[in-house]
C-alpha cells in the first residue's frame, strides 16, 4: 500500500515537472524519479533536458539563467541537495553518479569594479561536461570550463578547477589526479 502511494506521488511530481520543462523547451524521459523538494528552474531558451531513468533526490536544484542549458543523459543519479547551475552548458553523461551536496556551476561573477555590485558585473561562463559512468563524491564542487572524463572518479569534498581525464581518480582541493581506475594501486613506500 505504501509503495503504491509513493509511486503515485512520484508520478504526480514527474508529470508536473514534465509539463514545466516542456513549456520551457526542455523534456523529461520515461522512468524518471523525482523526490519531494526538487526544483527545476528554467525558462524559454534556457532548457533542462532529462533523459530516461534519471533520479533526482530530495532537495536537488537544477537551474538555468541567461543562455544556460542543462542536459542530463539516461540513468543519471543526483543525490540529495545537489545543485547544478548553468549560464552556458552543463552536460552529464549517462550512468553518472553525483553524490549528495555536490555543486556544478558553469559561471563566475566579475568582481574587480568596486563602483558596481558584484551582481551587476559581467559573468564569465564556460561549459561543464561530466562523462558517462563518472562518479562525483559527496560535496564535490565542479567549476566552469571543466571536463570530467568517462569513468572518472572524483573524491568527496574535492574542488575541480581543471579537467580530469577518463578513468582517472582525482581528490583534494584543488583536485589532482592520484591514479587511474582499473590499474593496481602502487604500494606505499616503507617508513624511513
Interval 141-160: pLDDT, tens: 999 999 999 999 999 999 99
Report d(CA 48, CA 23) in Å as an integer.
11
| Domain presence at residue 139 | yes
pLDDT for position 7 = 66
Number of domains in the chain: 1
CB 5 within 8 A of CB 13: no
| Domain presence at residue 128 | yes
| Domain presence at residue 174 | no
| Domain presence at residue 17 | yes
Question: Model's pTM, two decimal places?
Answer: 0.89
- DSSP type of residue 190: P
What domain range is 19 assigned to?
2-148
Q: Is the peptide bond before 174 cis (omega within 30 degrees of 0)?
A: yes
C-alpha cell at 177: 589526479
SS3 5: helix
pLDDT band of residue 121 (cuts 50, 70, 90) is confident
32 closest CA partner among 97, 76, 64, 70: 76
pLDDT for position 73 = 98
| Domain presence at residue 183 | no
| Domain presence at residue 61 | yes
pLDDT for position 165 = 98
pLDDT for position 2 = 67
Q: Which residues are catalytic?
A: 109
Position 19 pLDDT exceeds 90: no
Amino acid at each position: 500500500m505504501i509503495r503504491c502511494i509513493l509511486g503515485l506521488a512520484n508520478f504526480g511530481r514527474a508529470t508536473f515537472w514534465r509539463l514545466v520543462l516542456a513549456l520551457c523547451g526542455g523534456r523529461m524521459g520515461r522512468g524518471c524519479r523525482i523526490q519531494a523538494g526538487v526544483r527545476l528552474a528554467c525558462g524559454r531558451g534556457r532548457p533542462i533536458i532529462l533523459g530516461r531513468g534519471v533520479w533526482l533526490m530530495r532537495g536537488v536544484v537544477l537551474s538555468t539563467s541567461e543562455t544556460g542549458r542543462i542536459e542530463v543523459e539516461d540513468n543519471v543519479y543526483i543525490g540529495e541537495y545537489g545543485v547544478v547551475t548553468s549560464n552556458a552548458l552543463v552536460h552529464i553523461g549517462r550512468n553518472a553518479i553525483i553524490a549528495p551536496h555536490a555543486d556544478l556551476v558553469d559561471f563566475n561573477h566579475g568582481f574587480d569594479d568596486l563602483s558596481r555590485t558584484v551582481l551587476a558585473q559581467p559573468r564569465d561562463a564556460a561549459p561543464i561536461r561530466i562523462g558517462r559512468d563518472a562518479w562525483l563524491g559527496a560535496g564535490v564542487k565542479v567549476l566552469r570550463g571543466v571536463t570530467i572524463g568517462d569513468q572518472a572518479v572524483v573524491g568527496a569534498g574535492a574542488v575541480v578547477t581543471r579537467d580530469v581525464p577518463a578513468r582517472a581518480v582525482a581528490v583534494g582541493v584543488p583536485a589532482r589526479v592520484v591514479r587511474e581506475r582499473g590499474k593496481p594501486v602502487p604500494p606505499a613506500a616503507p617508513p624511513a
